[in-house]
Chains A and B, each alone.
Chain A
Amino acid sequence: MALLKSLLNRHIFYNTPRVIIPAVRLFSTDVKPAEDDAPADIENPYKKERKQCILCKLNIKPDYKNYRLLSQFQSPYTGRIYGRHITGLCKTKQEQVEAEISKAQNCAYMPYYYKDKTFLKDPKLFDPSNPVRSHRF
């Protein structure tokens, strides 16, 4: 019965005259020229902001007389300077910080083997236990 029905349907569908819709679409207003409709030439709005290290962002030049800032890059346990993968500084700034710290230590502004206890509660610029690159310490 179902087969008969489908056959009948197909026969009728193919043989009945149908309305042919033309490809041209009709508008009540004038069609704009294509140039106006072209995509606007703008900057990529989704472009990410350029990453900068904290000293470059705030435009700070490390100085051996500013030993309070320098002591923030020093370990409170051993007095050693944290590496670039922990401090998150760019290469040039890290080099400058290391040079200035050794200057400050030489001038007896900063201790070699510990961090000045008055600076222990200074705000943390980075988290030593969460480095950019993993390390074995």
Chain B
Amino acid sequence: MPAYEFAMMFRAMPKSELKTCLKRVSQAIFDRGGIIKNIENLGFKPMPYKTSSHGLVHREANYFVLKVDTATQAVADLKEEYSRDVDIIRQRVYKVQDETENSACTLEEEMLPPAYREDVQKMIKIGKTQVNRFTYKFKYNSGLDYYPFQK
């Protein structure tokens, strides 16, 4: 089961209601055979932009991040269910990228003068295989007995 992060924003509500809401949200995950590894509370804070959902405009939200392991098929189902939930203002699901060993910094190569940069050298090489349309001259001895372009 791949790892997902559910970034949820709940509407402003008292703590007891929030508790039941979180229970409802997590129960939906458990029902589909998912596992919750962690629930992060980022706090109640004003949103950077107002959001309207379920016929109400919200300017503050309770921010939560659920770290979940669940089947890929279940994710769309969960999103659909959460979108119907009146208490959820906004929800985003991101797949967690597996920790790949970070490659070395290429800043040194990028700071070189253009002629020494690999990508520029590649471009020059490609450019040399193309016909330069600024210097291209039509040859009249090409077998055609008429000039094919507009004069």
Contacts and interface: CB of A to CB of B under 8 A. Distances in A.
A54 to B, nearest CB: 10
B48 A108 contact: yes
B61 interface: yes
B94 A111 contact: no
Main secondary structure of the interface of B (DSSP, over half): strand
Contacts of B85: none
A111 B102 CA distance: 29
Interface string B95-131: 0000000111111101100000000000000000000
B102 A59 contact: yes
B92 A51 contact: no
A107 B40 CA distance: 14
Interface string A94-135: 000000000101111111100010000000000000001000
Interface of B: 7, 9, 40, 42, 47-49, 51, 61, 63, 65, 90, 92, 94, 102-108, 110-111
B148 to A, nearest CB: 41
A22 to B, nearest CB: 55
Contacts of B9: 107-108
A32 B48 CA distance: 79
7 contacts: A50-B108, A53-B105, A56-B102, A90-B110, A106-B92, A107-B90, A112-B49
Contacts of B107: 51-53, 56, 88-90
Contact of B106 (A90, A111, A132): A90
A50 B109 CA distance: 10
A34 to B, nearest CB: 39
Nearest to B7: A107
The 3 A-B residue pairs with the shortest CB-CB distance in the complex, in nearest-first order: A111-B48, A56-B105, A52-B105
Interface of A: 50-53, 56-57, 59, 61, 64-65, 88-93, 103, 105-112, 116, 132
Nearest to B61: A108
A65 B65 CA distance: 9
A53 B102 CA distance: 13
A91 B49 contact: no
Contact of A65 (B42, B106, B108): B42
B105 A90 contact: yes
